[in-house]
Amino acid sequence: MPVVLGIETSCDETGIGIVRDRVLLADEVASSVAEHARFGGVVPEVASRAHLEAMVPTVDRALATAGITLGDLDAIAVTAGPGLAGALLVGVAAAKAYSLALDLPLYGVNHLAAHVAVDVLEHGPLPEPAIALLVSGGHSSLLLVEDVTKTMVPLGQTIDDAAGEAFDKVARLLGLGFPGGPVVDRAARNGDPAAIAFPRALLADGYDVSFSGLKTAVARWVERQEGEIPVNDVCASFQEAVVDVLTRKALRACTDTGVGHLLIGGGVAANSRLRELAQQRCDAAGVVLRVPRPGLCTDNGAMVAALGDRLVAAGIAPSPLDLPADSSMPVELVCL
């Protein structure tokens, strides 16, 4: 069975994964998130430099964890896009170097398809077709997955901020630190989700989402308060607005397309309320929900290796060695 090394550097995580026939052998992540904290968001140049420093040590760690050497690898997969151009470039250059030096096939893959494929490591073969909701600091996409090794059909996306970006911005305006998702999630557990009626943009139309107005509504509401801000209630009400819209649209996509499986991925899929509400609404609609464990939802190399493993198994041709890092790689394109 072929052993696939996956390299992920599209944002601030240097992720290296090793997969053999849907079995995860190693999943090592070096994050530069702490270096971005004081800026309140990811600084692309800082992320690129951190990838450069972390690349070789993280690959070595992954090999050690898997108990193998470079000579045991059969293919290399790397995130070719979408993502931060400079950050992607580090991963793609490293992947080409390993591929050339070891004479191994190289697969330049789509980050979003990798977020979908990772679920096979935990829950077995993907039910296809499936609807995928991918929500992170960089993306908010609703996709129809017919075959993750071939193509994904975009149904909707954010027209402004990504869902995770909204969490990060709201956390920042409340002075809760970065990244905002986990802190808001925790604060919300002690708050009332019905305390403040924040807007749910585009709820009735289509599959696109918008979170910029919601973020502004939270800012205006906070500004208007005299005295202490009820942080827990603000977090709970904001979070409820986000997950209400996301789950409603995802379920509507399932109903409209007649697809009985929903898969959720991306950093925001770690959100406890999103997981809970998605489960409730899927149960009510008779839809089977699949969400990988939180560590596989945030960016990692295992997801890239998982997709690479599926591409090899499906007999898909490798990418040319001159493949580009494509910061705006279209979602329809699974592999370059």
Count of CB atoms situated within 10 Å of the CB of 280: 12
Residue 161 binding partner per list ligand KG4, Zn ion, none, with a CB distance cut-off of 5 to 8 Å that depends on partner kind = none
Site residues for ligand KG4, window 252-291 (CB under 6 A)?
Answer: 266-268, 270-271
Phi, psi of 124 (to 5 degrees): 80, -170
Q: How far is the CB of 155 from Zn ion (least distance, A)?
A: 18
Closest approach, Cβ 272 to ligand KG4, in A, equals 7
Q: How far is the CB of 241 from ligand KG4 (least distance, A)?
A: 13
Question: What is the C-alpha to C-alpha distance for residues 278 and 261, in angstroms, rounded to an integer?
Answer: 12
For residue 280, what are the contacts with CB-CB under 8 A and spacing of at least 6? Answer: none
Q: Which among 146, 155, 162, 178 has a CA at the least distance from the CA of 31?
A: 178
Closest distance between ligand KG4 and the C-beta of residue 164, in Å? 3
- Among 8, 12, 299, 326, the residue binding Zn ion under the rule CB under 5 A is 299
Does 136 contact Zn ion by CB under 5 A?
A: yes
Q: How far is the CB of 115 from Zn ion (least distance, A)?
A: 6
C-alpha 306/C-alpha 115 separation (Å) is: 9
298 binds, among Zn ion, ligand KG4, none (CB under 5 to 8 A by kind): ligand KG4
- Near ligand KG4 by CB under 6 A: residue from 233, 244, 299, 309: 299
Q: Please, what is the minimum distance in Å from the beta carbon of residue 4 to ligand KG4?
A: 21
The pair of three-digit structure tokens given for residue 288, joined into one six-digit string = 């089977």
Tell me which residue of 268, 13, 37 sits closest to 175, measured CA to CA: 37
Binding positions for ligand KG4, 134-193, rule CB under 6 A: 136-138, 164-165, 167-168, 179-182, 185
Q: Are 295 and 168 in contact (CB under 8 A)?
A: no
180 binds, among Zn ion, ligand KG4, none (CB under 5 to 8 A by kind): ligand KG4
Q: Which does 179 bind (CB under 5 to 8 A by kind): Zn ion, ligand KG4, none?
A: ligand KG4
Pick the stretch among 90-98, 121-129, 162-170, 293-301 that binds Zn ion (CB under 5 A): 293-301
Residues 6+ apart with CB under 8 A from 332: 151, 152, 153, 154
CA 105 to mean position of chain CA atoms? 25
**Residue (63 or 262) nearer to Zn ion, CB:** 262
Q: Show Cβ contacts of residue 91 under 8 Å, excluding neighbours closer than 6 positions.
A: 7, 8, 9, 10, 14, 51, 55, 78, 79, 325
* Whole-angstrom distance, CA of residue 38 vs CA of residue 19: 35
With CB under 5 to 8 Å by kind, the binding choice for 193 among Zn ion, ligand KG4, none is none
Q: Which residues bind Zn ion (CB under 5 A)?
A: 136, 299
Q: Which residues bind ligand KG4 (CB under 6 A)?
A: 11, 136-138, 164-165, 167-168, 179-182, 185, 266-268, 270-271, 298-299
